[in-house]
């Protein structure tokens, strides 16, 4: 809507209907409990790093070429001073790429679907992103770093590798 258009609203049996300027939007009302997303999003990882968006995006793109087609899994290994991105496939072999960064915490390895990471990195509007992980079984949390990025979180569930 642009300007001062009037919106009419109706509530029907199991539906919400909005009408404005010759357009109608109908939405079904779901009678169920929404998943407790706060439990997933609120838990932050104790291993936090900031990495350049383009550097990480390029590394994941190159390494994921050798990931298996079925899962497109890449492994992120966080260790002293580096983030290693790796993938392997029985047919094609293995690829590894190391991204230098400031980190001096406990080591952790976690697997993610490469396409999910690339989706976030392709649309985030900042030069740097923050990555928070806890362990190999917990979600990863990605956020834009900087004033232009807004305040949102991108949650990625891990994969076994």
Give 80-100 pLDDT, tens digit per residue.
999 999 998 888 889 999 999
pLDDT band of 116, cuts 50, 70, 90: very high
Predicted model pTM: 0.75
Of residues 123, 107, 108, 91, the one with CA closest to residue 158: 108
> How many angstroms separate the Cα of 98 from the Cα of each of 56, 142, 150, 154?
10, 19, 28, 23
Query: What are the boundaries of each domain within the chain?
Result: 1-32, 37-156
Over residues 31-78, the pLDDT tens digits come to 888 777 777 666 667 899 999 999 999 999 999 998 877 778 999 999
Task: Provide the percentage of residues in the chain whose pLDDT is more than 90.
Answer: 53
In this prediction, residue 82 carries a pLDDT of 93
Pick the CATH number of 37-156 from 3.10.150.10, 1.10.3720.10, 3.40.50.2300, 1.10.260.40: 3.10.150.10
Q: Is 112 within 8 Å of 156 (Cβ atoms)?
A: yes
Q: What is the mean pLDDT of the chain?
A: 87
d(CA 108, CA 147): 29
């Amino acid at each position: 809507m642009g300007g001062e258009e009037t919106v009419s609203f109706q509530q029907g049996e199991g539906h919400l209907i909005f009408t404005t300027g010759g357009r109608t939007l109908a939405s079904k009302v779901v009678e169920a409990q929404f998943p407790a997303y706060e439990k997933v999003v609120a838990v932050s990882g104790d291993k936090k790093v900031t990495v350049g968006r383009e550097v990480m995006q390029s590394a994941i793109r190159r390494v994921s070429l050798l990931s298996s087609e079925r899962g497109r899994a890449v492994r992120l290994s966080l260790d002293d001073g580096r983030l290693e991105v790796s993938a392997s496939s029985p047919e094609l072999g293995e690829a590894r790429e190391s991204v230098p960064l400031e980190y001096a915490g406990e080591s952790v390895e976690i697997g993610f679907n490469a396409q999910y990471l690339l989706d976030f990195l392709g649309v985030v509007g900042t030069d740097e992103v923050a990555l928070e992980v806890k362990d190999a079984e917990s979600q990863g949390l990605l956020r834009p770093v900087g004033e232009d990025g807004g305040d949102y979180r991108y949650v990625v569930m891990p994969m076994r590798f």
